[in-house]
Amino acid sequence: MASDEHDTGGPAVSGPLYLGALHFDGDPGELLPAYRRLLERFGIDALDVHLCISRENGLTVFDACPAKAIYEEFTGSDTFREAVDAAGLPAPRIEGLGDVRVAHLRREVRP
């Protein structure tokens, strides 16, 4: 994945991305600390596109990988399942969404 500075001074990523959603059901207040533990394990700086959305009945995490096959391999791996379990999260409902055609985030939002 090529990364360079965009004209606006922010990071730009070139190349394909595949977006998926991980739905963690439960009390968002209880899930957020566990999600943060999961995020610490993998490191946010290694992620191309990653969003955590708080819902009334849980969290939805949107995460991108360079290709659908990579997303499916990672989310189906023992490494991922063990990390989710070790963080204290319930098993997610995993949903592949499709290829990212345009992505823009004006500013960074961190926990």
The structural architecture, per CATH, of the domain 17-99 is 2-Layer Sandwich (3.30)
pLDDT in tens, 71-103: 999 999 999 999 999 999 999 999 999 999 988
pLDDT score of 104 more than 90: no
**pTM of structure:** 0.82
Residues 6+ apart with CB under 8 A from 41: 83, 86, 87
- 57-70 mean pLDDT: 96
pLDDT tops 70 at residue 10:
no
Q: Which residues contact 76 (CB under 8 A, 6 or more apart)?
A: 94
Average pLDDT value for residue range 2-27: 70
